[in-house]
Structures are given as C-alpha cells and as structure tokens.
Amino acid sequence: MRTRTLALTSVVCGAALLTAALPAAADETDATAPRTAEAGEAAAPAAVTAADLLAGVRSCRRISQGRYRTDSGSAKATVPVCGTRDAVFWKADMDIDCDGRRSRACNRKTDPYFLPETAFTSSRGKPLDSAALPHVVVPGPSKVWDYRKSGLGGGSVVAVVYRGRVSYGVIGDTGPTRIIGEASYAMAKTLGIDPDPVSGGAGSGVTYIAFKNSRISPIESRATARSRGEQLARRFVGRP
C-alpha cells in the first residue's frame, strides 16, 4: 500500500539506471510455437486483441460517485470508474508500484517511497513481489468508489491495455483513496512501459479492465492469471 506523491527531480537525477532483469515467476515457461491442429481437433481460439478490448469500453456507465486524480499534484479529478455487466474499467496513466517483497529492482534505494508490504499477500502470507508479478493497484475504499462492492478484491483478474498490447494480471495492492492509475513494475515491463519507480510509467493512454468475481488462487500464479484472463476477455468481447 502506498501514498504516492510526485517524484522529486533531484531523486531522478541521482538514481542509477536499473540493469537487473525482471525475475522470472516460478510457474512461467516460454511460449512454444503454435502447432497445426490435427484432423478432428478444434483449432485454438484466436487471441483477444487490444482493439477487441478497447471496443468494449468505448462508452462509460459511471459507477463511481465522483472522479479520481491521476497524481497527488493533479489540478483536477478527471477519471471515472465505469462498469459493465462483467467488468469494471478506467482509463488513466500508469505510476509504478514497487512495494512488497524486496528485490534488486524494488527496494528503498531504487524507490524512495518503497514500502515492504502490499494490501494483499501471497498464498504463504508474504508480501507480493512487484518486480515479478504483474498486478494493478486500486484506490482504497471510499465514498467515491469501493472496489469490494463491484465484485473485486485481491486476486481478481485484470487486463491492461497500452499501445496495442494486452497484459493479464491481478489486483494486488491498494493505494490512496483519491488517486487512480498504478500498476506493478512487472506489469509495466510486460507492456513495454519503463518500469523505473521514479522516472518510469506512462502519462496517459492506459486502460484497466477488472473482471468481476474472478479471483484466482494462488494470487501469485502468472500462468493462471494469464489463462483465466484470456478466457474472461473472450467472454467480455462476446467470443466463444
């Protein structure tokens, strides 16, 4: 859990560039080349694209009681939380969450706002590893919006879309009650966004889609989040 403030430029200037590679999740394996279906076998369903998902969130039925700022220094609150029958979504920026388990990428030296815990924990009761697990941060419950009343919680599956890419993960942490638009170091990296917790992130153009009543276990399984996310995304866009 973090209370994010605007990063000081002096911190950026003094920070060394990260060279550590993203740690591989224990259950992740490299994708193999698709094989041709044998006679009598059903062909694998086509992957849901970023365009497919964005088509499903063109219009907003606002479910939040107000709007959120994207940063503590933002002049106005401009981001609503929107809802459909199966999902909740918002369009914002992406700040980098490096909280949780200490790693070469996420620690007090790389992130001056680093906290050694996350709102939700692993199957072993430990803080999540933001450098290894793609996850999204939701605002803490408030009068503006309470994620729990939307069928969401720790481990709920999410799809994040940015510049033609789609990445699946989970809700893994909570943040300030008035700010929205934050995801883990690992989530940023999978989307091609600079994951540096001080100088990285994306200023706009990120779409977050959280699927209702979709909690997976264990929360730290990237493979389960991806497979379940692909299944939910197909249903979301009306594809078998």
> According to the model, what pLDDT value does residue 1 have?
52
Cα 122 from chain centroid? 16
In this structure, the number of other CB atoms found within 10 A of the CB of residue 207 comes to 17
| Identity of residue 7 | A
| Identity of residue 240 | P
What is the SS3 string spanning the chain?
A: CCCCCCCCHHHHHHCCCCCCCCCCCCCCCCCCCCCCCCCCCCCCCCCCCHHHHHHCCCCCCECCCCCEECCCCCCCCCECCEECCCEEEEEEEEEEECCECCCCCCCCCCCCCCCCCCCCECCCCCECECCCCCEEEEECCCCCCCHHHHCCCCCCEEEEEECCEEEEEEEEEEECCCECCEEEHHHHHHCCCCCCCCCCCEEEEEEEEEECCCCCCCCCCHHHHHHHHHHHHHHHCCCC
Minimum mean pLDDT range among 6-15, 92-101, 125-134, 218-227: 6-15
Question: Confidence class of residue 45 from pLDDT cuts 50, 70 and 90?
Answer: confident
pLDDT in tens, 87-100: 999 999 999 999 99
> According to the model, what pLDDT value does residue 26 have?
41
- Distance between the two ends of the chain, CA-based, in angstroms? 37
Residues 83 and 44: their CA atoms lie apart, in Å, by 30
pLDDT in tens, 155-170: 999 999 999 999 999 9
> According to the model, what pLDDT value does residue 74 have?
87
> According to the model, what pLDDT value does residue 73 have?
86
Q: Are strands 135-139 and 165-175 parallel, antiparallel or unpaired?
A: parallel
**Between 134 and 43, where is the model more confident?**
134
pLDDT in tens, 66-78: 999 999 888 899 9
